[in-house]
């Protein structure tokens, strides 16, 4: 019969021989930890101070998904379009639609994934796999999924960042996090909910980012909407150079069902799928007045 001491010894031997695969997958850059480190980093603090001082007197300006400076489409000389999928993160938004991702992979569809720090923290090993897939481009959806604001403006019941310093952190800390984990620095930012104010767009531009929204709303975020209707909505609005917005953090939504209907139809119409990073991104077309 084993004594208590024997059991302790066996446990020590087991863990000293075990290769700790879980530790190899551990996330050293959890949101709380990375912000604590950045707030103690003199280089980060002085870059943030320089930027926020520059925008000290800037009023927030217009608030919305399509304010001045936001890009929504790209210059396409053939029938290419960009499928983009957000992963928002948070208590009810940290799911992983693995079947949707598997579908994109088997269909060899290029896609741009906008990911928050929150979602990464809840899905670290899946995030590592996504980042290694060359068909996917990882871009920035904010550290804590806060709409980007200089004054705490709200969108869909979510309070935005409260000032320029918080807006800076929401964008830059997530970029630093993604760069540290994947080795690649995101250059495109889509604010949480796509709502952003003009001052934040200007500041993000100075920080070196292109801010995008979308021009085809797939409506996949309406859980009760049948897949056929999502498909029809996209087909009604699609055009060369379109940026389509969808999600991959809600496996219970109809995104995958809609994609299974949509992809063959888009291909039949001659569309191909590209990632955003090498595209010439453009603002909304101005309505011509007659």
Binding site for Zn ion (CB under 5 A): 86, 88, 192
Residue 90, sorted as left (phi over 0), alpha (psi -120 to 50) or beta, turns out to be left
Residue with tokens 């039949």: 268
CB of 210 to Zn ion, least distance (A): 18
Q: Which of 97, 261 has the CB closer to Zn ion?
A: 97
Q: Is the dihedral of CA 274, 170, 130, 244 positive or negative?
A: negative
CB of 86 to Zn ion, least distance (A): 4
> How many angstroms separate the CA atoms of 253 and 225, rounded?
9
Q: Which of 88, 227 has the CB closer to Zn ion?
A: 88
Q: Which of 52, 213 has the CB closer to Zn ion?
A: 213
Using DSSP, state whether 96 is helix, strand or coil.
coil
Q: Which residue is nearest to Zn ion (CB)?
A: 88
CB of 141 to Zn ion, least distance (A): 6
CB of 265 to Zn ion, least distance (A): 26
The conformation of residue 95, written as its DSSP 8-state character, comes to -
Q: Which of 192, 261 has the CB closer to Zn ion?
A: 192
Q: Which of 194, 275 has the CB closer to Zn ion?
A: 194
CB of 4 to Zn ion, least distance (A): 51
CB of 145 to Zn ion, least distance (A): 6
- Please choose, from the candidates 164, 159, 212, 161, the residue with its C-alpha nearest in 3D space to the C-alpha of residue 190: 212
Residue with tokens 């009810």: 92
Q: Which of 192, 196 has the CB closer to Zn ion?
A: 192
Q: Which of 73, 118 has the CB closer to Zn ion?
A: 118
- Please choose, from the candidates 88, 87, 139, 117, the residue with its C-alpha nearest in 3D space to the C-alpha of residue 279: 139
- Please choose, from the candidates 250, 211, 219, 259, the residue with its C-alpha nearest in 3D space to the C-alpha of residue 89: 250
> How many angstroms separate the CA atoms of 211 and 201, rounded?
6
> How many angstroms separate the CA atoms of 204 and 210, rounded?
7
CB of 116 to Zn ion, least distance (A): 7
Q: Which of 244, 261 has the CB closer to Zn ion?
A: 244
3-state secondary structure 112-137: EEEECHHHHHHCHHHHHHHHHCCCEE
CB of 181 to Zn ion, least distance (A): 19
Name every residue whose Cβ is closer than 8 Å to that of residue 203 and which is 6 or more positions away in sequence: 51, 54, 55, 58, 164, 167, 168
Asked if residue 127 lies in contact with residue 34, where contact means CB atoms within 8 angstroms, the answer is no
């Amino acid at each position: 019969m084993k004594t208590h001491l024997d059991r302790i010894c066996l446990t020590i031997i087991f863990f000293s021989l075990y290769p700790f695969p879980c530790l190899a997958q551990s996330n050293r850059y959890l949101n709380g930890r990375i912000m604590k480190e950045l707030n103690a980093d003199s280089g980060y603090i002085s870059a943030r101070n320089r930027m926020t001082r520059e925008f000290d007197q800037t009023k927030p300006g217009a608030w919305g998904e399509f304010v001045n400076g936001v890009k929504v489409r790209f210059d396409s000389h053939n029938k290419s379009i960009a499928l983009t999928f957000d992963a928002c993160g948070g208590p009810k938004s940290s799911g992983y639609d693995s079947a949707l991702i598997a579908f994109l992979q088997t269909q060899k569809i290029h896609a741009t994934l906008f990911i928050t720090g929150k979602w990464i923290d809840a899905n670290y090993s899946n995030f590592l796999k996504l980042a290694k897939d060359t068909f996917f481009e990882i871009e920035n959806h904010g550290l804590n999924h806060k709409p980007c604001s200089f004054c705490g403006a709200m969108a869909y019941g979510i309070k935005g960042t409260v000032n320029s310093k918080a807006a800076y952190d929401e964008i830059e800390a997530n970029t630093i996090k993604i760069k540290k984990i994947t080795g690649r620095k995101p250059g495109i930012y889509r604010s949480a909910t796509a709502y952003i104010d003009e001052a934040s767009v200007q500041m993000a531009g100075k920080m070196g980012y292109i801010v995008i929204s979308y021009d085809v709303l797939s409506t996949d975020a309406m859980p009760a909407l049948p897949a056929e209707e999502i498909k029809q909505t996209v087909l009604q609005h699609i055009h060369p150079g379109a940026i389509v917005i969808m999600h991959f953090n809600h496996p219970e939504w109809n995104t995958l069902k809609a994609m299974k209907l949509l992809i063959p139809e888009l291909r039949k119409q001659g569309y191909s799928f590209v990632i955003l990073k090498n595209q010439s991104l453009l603002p909304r077309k101005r309505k011509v007045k007659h």
